[in-house]
Amino acid sequence: RKEVEQDPGPFNVPEGATVAFNCTYSNSASQSFFWYRQDCRKEPKLLMSVYSSGNEDGRFTAQLNRASQYISLLIRDSKLSDSATYLCVVITGGGNKLTFGTGTQLKVEL
């Protein structure tokens, strides 16, 4: 079993739609969680951290469920510019090791 698993998609949604991604992780000792965004042929960039209490940044909401070992990302009112691959990242090993999921591709269409 992979340490971090994501549905690869692609998720094709119309502009204005709400879309949700899930990510599961296998190491119960994982310490920190993030969502990164990667545009085609570009480097990954931090989208948001994921806290136990959940957090929101504009149209984006991230949730963590430690009991079930998954994190989620909700995007409301999707924009064309949201089209990208969303990477789930889990930190283990005393903070030394960032493990990435394979990413979920989102395509927002007119």
Is residue 66 a contact residue for another protein (CB under 8 A)?
no
Pick the piece of the chain touching another protein (CB under 8 A) from 20-28, 45-53, 59-67, 74-82. 45-53
What is the C-alpha to C-alpha distance for residues 78 and 104, in angstroms, rounded to an integer? 15
Is residue 49 a contact residue for another protein (CB under 8 A)?
yes
Query: What minimum distance in Å lies between the beta carbon of 5 and another protein?
Result: 10
What the block records as the tokens of 19 is 């879309």
Is residue 99 a contact residue for another protein (CB under 8 A)?
yes
| Binding-site size, another protein (CB under 8 A) | 23
What is the C-alpha to C-alpha distance for residues 30 and 53, in angstroms, rounded to an integer? 16
Tokens 């204005």 belong to residue:
16
